[in-house]
Structure 1
Amino acid sequence: MTHASSVRRPLRQMTALFLTAALTLSLSALLTLTSAKQASALCVASGFAGTWRSSDDRLSRIDIWHGEDCGLYARAWSTCEHDATRDCKWAGTKEVKATESKNFRFFYYNWSNADEVLQLRLKDKTHMSVWDHTDYHSGKEVSFTVPMVKSR
């Protein structure tokens, strides 16, 4: 009888060890999924994400979205030169830079003849103003402000 009980003890210990490992792994997976959902919810909570439109041909639309890294990305659009019924996108996707203020962000373009910065100021859930400033390499500077409305 002593031999049978001594064999059962390591078996019980191994079973307990496997159960503990399985529970730990399950709990770890659950916490990881919960953390990912919370991070995703925080990511989506930004009021900047969406499509913003204006009546100004120089900056008719800005699309802002969350990347897989939870960063904000943007693309600016102007009314097409040869077809005023369409918007033409500016070159490339740009990362929207954060500031200390949660209602203020910016992104920029470097063109062959100028550097342009767009500063976004969120007024409320559906209204934003954008200050566009362009420094031409010739020394000329152009600035204007565009009110925008969130369309989706």
Structure 2
Amino acid sequence: MVAYWLVKSEPEAFSWDQQVANGSEPWTGVRSHAAKSNLKAMRKADLVFFYHSNVGKEIVGIVEVEREAYPDPTAASGDWLCVDLRAVRPLPISVSLASIKAVADLADMALVRQSRLSVMPISAAHWVRLCRMGGLRDWIR
């Protein structure tokens, strides 16, 4: 069964366009224990929203877990993890944080409750709702 996630990236550091150009990319640099636990729980073929943080504050695309958690090669020390993510498709309409906060059914999302978390789970119901907000109808596996 596919699980759903959201990852955040500052577009000036690594943008959706860079993800698309690279195709598959290691998702490195996560240094939060809560986010690390989420990376560890990701499975191959899970679907992930790509969210631009700081600038834009919006979901802009969908990526897929291509390789499950392994040691982050950018970590100087510790047991930090990364996963490989592959670009799947852009959202026809980006979904802003403001529009997410305006929907009562989405108020319990980690994106709203724990805004600093960089890797978070998304429920199947929230996934479908956000896909529809982004111009995709019933885009779920």
TM-score normalised to the size of structure 1? Answer: 0.30
Higher strand share: 1
Q: Which has the larger radius of gyration?
A: 1
TM-score normalised to the size of structure 2? Answer: 0.32
